[in-house]
Amino acid sequence: MRRRRQRPIPPVSEQSSDAELLHAIAAGETSALRLLHHRHAGWLRARLRRRCADPDVVDAAIQDTFVAVWKDSDRYVETSADAAAWLWTIAVRRLLSTLRGPAHRWLSGPADELPDVATTPSAEELVLLGVEHGALGPALDRLSPELRRLIEATALDGLSVREAAKLLGIAEGTAKTRLMRARTRLRELLT
C-alpha cells in the first residue's frame, strides 16, 4: 500500500468541505472517512439503486467505493473535479465491476505499480455536463422512468443491453424494445 502524505492531519468536523475530508483521509484520518461516508453514502446508494435492483450488489459497490477512497484519496485533485462527482465516478465503476463478477474483473499488480496521472475531466464527464445543462437533460426528464433508467444505463453508464437488462432486473428482449422506444421518443423530443 502506498504511503500516506506526510503533512499534518488537518482537523475535521461536520463543517469540513469534502476536499478537506479527502485530504485528511489521505493523511490517514479515519474520522474523516466516517464523515465523508455519512455525507455521501445515502445519495450514492439512492442513485445506484436507480441503476441496480439488487440491494446487496449496491451495498457491495458502496463498500468498495469507500475502500477505494481510503486507499486512493491522495489521487483526488481539488481543482479538477468536484468531490461528489469523483465519488460518483468511483461508485459507478465499482457497481459495474460488482455486476460483472470476478470472471470479468481486470486484475493487475499492486496499486503502487500504477502510474500516477493527474485527473482531468474525461470525455464522459464533459458529455454528462452537456446532458445536465443542454437540451438532452430536459428531454430525458420527459421520458418514463423505465425508459430513462435504460438510457442512463446504456448511454451514460456505458453498459451493454445485456448488462443493463441484468442491472434493471428485466429480460434482454424487453430491454431492447424499451431502448428502441426510448431512442424514438428522444428523437421526437429533440427535434
Half-sphere CA count of 100, side-chain side, radius 13 A: 13
Q: How far apart are CA 91 and CA 118, in angstroms?
A: 19
- Residue scoring higher pLDDT (116 or 60): 60
Residue with cell 430525458: 140
Tell me 80's DSSP state. T
Question: What is the fold, at CATH topology level, of the domain defined by 9-112?
Answer: Rna Polymerase Sigma Factor; Chain: A (1.10.1740)
pLDDT tens per residue across span 71-126: 988 888 776 557 887 888 889 888 888 777 654 444 444 444 444 444 455 454 55
Cell numbers at 160, concatenated: 451493454
Buried b (16+ CB within 10 A) or exposed e, 150-167: bbbbbbbbebebebbbbb
Closest of 1, 14, 157, 2 to residue 91, by C-alpha: 157
Asked if the 120-191 domain carries CATH number 1.10.1740.10, the reply is: no
Predicted local confidence at residue 124, as pLDDT = 47
Give per-residue pLDDT as tens, 13-43: 888 888 888 889 988 889 999 999 999 998 8
- Residue 68 in contact with residue 97, Cβ under 8 Å? no
Residue 92, burial from CB neighbour count under 10 angstroms (0-12, 13-18, 19+): buried
Q: Where are the domains of the chain?
A: 9-112, 120-191
The confidence score (pLDDT) of residue 180 equals: 92
Whole-structure pTM value:
0.53
